[in-house]
Structure 1
């Protein structure tokens, strides 16, 4: 079973289902409210665990009730929490505004999701992995993980998310072999070239550009009720497929299937499985 170390944010998510996303000086009706653990690193780790990978998570939560609940959710999903620190303070809360079309806007409240510093990284956890996957976090922490992984011969993938334009990840990208971005983030790229770039285009599919070729996949036409976490499920699918030996084109199809499964499910985390993925690929869910 391949082992992946996921490093980055672990949050507590409050999802507000709205009739529409509010305009400036406007008002929307809240149809439903749900809560649960989230954060890109946590979401990818849960997805990988469902796809027969041994997923280890490195990040930080607070010593409050939300931190305890987030840890319990992750443990029940089969994620190894050896790298997850519990620190004094409040677990970071994200408020996810989701409209009837499944589109999402995010409000973030301060918390301890970046309390994991460079000195907190356990080199043994990094060296034990078959791949390290880095998501949005402090550049100095991600750089330390990437350096340790490179020294140990462990490949590194990066999904910096919305903060790509605000933070300098150039040192991290210089050590990565795979980069995940969306179309907006792709336009903000300005730094070292990464050998494999996977561009997520939501309902329009995705593209992977590799040194030898590039591949497009149009995605899958499944009902979309909540795009929260779809990009994380996409990354989990691509990495799991590559780790089982799939080529880039086949991995892209798997990734799109995982993203579509996530988008048809409410909430940031999706219980992925190869059985569900194969059903989408075979057209049984179309």
Structure 2
């Protein structure tokens, strides 16, 4: 298998708000406010680039921002294949970070909503060993049609396909059965326990592993400070702990996790080492503000 990976997903500007205490409705609260590049797909691609992977990233941005984003991604070891949108600006995500590191989001996906099959031509798959698609791409008709067309082409070529559900809120909105149908044909899924519960209706990551294994050959369940597990419909094959770290911001931790696992597997590492690298990357991500390497 070639070691090149194609990531498809959103490009966002992350506006990260860290209040000094609880938000006071109708009044002021001091806060740290920072603006950084983000988006689930973009985060995965940048983390992969930081890990030395050969990564191409396909997405849609506001036309005026396209040259800036192309230079940004190239500077971080990512080959950008970006379409410029003349109607919608680039996406923006406002993240409000609680004192315990948990996050709430306000999302304007902008140009990402106009991703089309024409943006994801089959030529993108040349020399690709794995396709990674953010779940956000399934939650709107245009991007969904684009990635499903890409899925079909990738599957015909025998290319491994992985998905990340990305959002519990959107999963609950569209329903588990719908998401599972949309992602049919994917070989692997990266899900946290909340996403796994939303998709399976069961609690406990061991039961979730088996339930998701009915739909995907390989299941990875991210458990935050408790680590992560990998398995299939036969159950858990490997369950590893996470290092104890101080959580500053959990934005992008799942993206870093996925990148760590994929980069290690494409470099020929075994499953234990790949899961270890994934957990290490997730732990690194939560120790700084933003969804990309600091």
TM bin, normalised by shorter chain, reads: 0.7 to 0.9
CA contact (8 A) 2:12 2:109 kept: no
Establish whether residue 208 from structure 1 lines up as the match of residue 207 from structure 2.
no
Establish whether residue 17 from structure 1 lines up as the match of residue 24 from structure 2.
no
Task: Tell me the alpha carbon deviations over residues 143-166 of structure 1, each in whole angstroms, 9 at most, x when there is no partner.
Answer: 111111111111000012113333
Aligned length: 268
Q: How many angstroms does 1:211 deviate by? A: 5.7
Q: How many angstroms does 1:19 deviate by? A: 2.1
Q: Match for residue 152 of structure 1? A: 157
Secondary structure at the residue paired with 1:181? strand
Q: What residue ranges of structure 1 are gaps of 5+ in the alignment?
A: 272-286
CA contact (8 A) 2:19 2:29 kept: yes
TM-score by length of 2: 0.84
Q: Match for residue 85 of structure 1? A: 83
TM-score by length of 1: 0.86
Q: Match for residue 170 of structure 1? A: 180
Which one is further off, 2-11 or 111-120?
Answer: 111-120
Q: Match for residue 36 of structure 2? A: 36
Secondary structure at the residue paired with 1:270? coil
Distance 1:159 1:94, change over 3 A: same
Distance 1:230 1:28 in 2: 30
Secondary structure at the residue paired with 1:148? helix
Answer 1 or 2: which has greater helix percent. Answer: 2
After superposition, where does 1:63-82 map in structure 2 within 5 Å? 63-65=63-65, 68-82=67-81
Task: Tell me the alpha carbon deviations over residues 127-147 of structure 1, each in whole angstroms, 9 at most, x when there is no partner.
Answer: 321110010213222211111
Among 216, 237, 249, the residue aligned to 2:260: 237
Q: What residue ranges of structure 2 are gaps of 5+ in the alignment?
A: 138-142, 201-211
Calculate the aligned-residue CA RMSD, in Å: 2.2
Distance 1:268 1:30 in 2: 22
Task: Tell me the alpha carbon deviations over residues 29-82 of structure 1, each in whole angstroms, 9 at most, x when there is no partner.
Answer: 2421111211111100011111111111111011245x5544332221111012
Q: Match for residue 275 of structure 2? A: 252
CA contact (8 A) 2:180 2:215 kept: no
Q: Match for residue 292 of structure 2? A: 269
Secondary structure at the residue paired with 1:241? helix
CA contact (8 A) 2:64 2:84 kept: no
